Amino acid sequence: MAIPKYREIYEDLKGKITKGIYIKGRKMPGEIDLAKIYNVSRITSRQALSLLEKEGYVIRKRKLGTIVNNLKKDNTPFLKLRHLGFVLVDVDPGADYYIWEITAAEEWLSKNNIILSVTTLKTSELLQNKPPILLQNETVQGFILDGFVQNFHCNYIERLGRPFLVEGNVAIDKKYPQIRFDIKKIVETAMDLLFDINPKKPILLLVEPFKFHYTREIYQSYSSYLIKKRKGSIILQTCESDNGYAGMKNLLARGYKKFSLITTDRIVRGVLALYKEMGFSSVENPIVVLGNEKRISEWEKQQIYLAPLNAEYITLKAVEFFKEIFEDSVQNIHKDLRVDIKPPDFSGEGDKVEDIKQNIVWKERKFRREKSSILKK
């Protein structure tokens, strides 16, 4: 079967680009000139240029013409990401965390002229060989996975032959690319801070049940720190995410009066309610909260130190890194994100806030002196 004429022209032009006859970053003949050079119709020359553009060898811009694209060392083109799939595994896409991160991703990608398509993936349906339609869409160039991702899901996505990145603190094999919060370093920084501003007092840990992987990571980091530094006993209490009040009450039933606390965004509201009821001060018994600051009220921010594990932040980093994976052919990316711990926020007004501010001002100064030792993003 004869090779179509536009394909012959495409191969010839590609050869000239890879050999440097047409120089990267420079203008090359357009469809009118190519039609004359090869003695073909403009339709044929346009087809050849369209194929070159699709494969990344040229960029065609109105008023500027056809520009030769940069090539890698192996003379293959840098591909451009145009369509990204976001896959939520075994989660409710209506949950606030996922709404925040998807919105952030859409805004960033739209500025870079990249389409974002979102779908949910249920393990039960995948086991029945009923994957979501988005995974079968050939225009989607790759995927970011979030939620309760397991090796099984990664293996399935890998077989699709398109690049992917797992977002979040889930336990998967190191062979799969992943971006996550560096919980170990963040917890260590929080404990250094608490022992500094509240020395010789025990640090209590109040977290959600261990069915969440990140909860196990928090506990492992907390216990390892205490064992390594020999700075006290492990004091742990788990509770349901909406019942920090009861969980804190169980901790206090053990007789603790002077202490520091590490907890999470979903629990802190109940903790502070019990603090108020018991007459406890967040100055004398400081709290570090790990979590998304959007879940924390302004009044709560005035009482706590915050390690902001924000959905928007990790998702923006995820789409940036995925773009790098796709366009630069970077393999096996593993990125651990660190965050600064924010001191209590006194931007509000009123006597109550002013009183708290006066009580804690010396600790704020000490915190600033030590801030250089707190891990940067």
How large a percentage of the chain has pLDDT more than 70? 89
Matching fold, domains 5-68 and 183-309+340-373: no
Please report the pLDDT score of residue 81 as a whole number: 86
The shares of helix, strand and coil residues in the chain, as percent rounded to the nearest 5, are 45, 20, 40
Closest CA to 313 of 287, 332, 294: 294
Lowest model confidence (mean pLDDT) among 119-128, 159-168, 264-273, 329-338: 329-338
Tally of CA atoms within 13 A in the half-sphere of 355 that contains its CB: 5
pLDDT of 103 above 70: yes
Measured CA distances, 250 to 239, 274, 275, 305, 331 (Å): 9, 11, 13, 22, 47
Q: What is the mean pLDDT of the chain?
A: 86
CA gap 293, 186 in Å, rounded:
15
Phi, psi (deg, nearest 5) at residue 206: -125, 110
| 183-309+340-373 to CATH, choices 3.40.190.10, 3.50.50.60, 3.20.20.70, 3.40.50.2300 | 3.40.50.2300
Summarize the confidence of residues 218-246 as an average pLDDT. 90
Please report the pLDDT score of residue 72 as a whole number: 67
Summarize the confidence of residues 162-188 as an average pLDDT. 93
**Could you tell me the fold of the domain covering 83-180?**
Rossmann fold (3.40.50)
Lowest model confidence (mean pLDDT) among 14-18, 110-114, 346-350: 346-350
Indicate whether this model's pTM tops 0.75: no
Where are the chain's structural domains? 5-68, 83-180, 183-309+340-373
**Could you tell me the fold of the domain covering 5-68?**
Arc Repressor Mutant, subunit A (1.10.10)
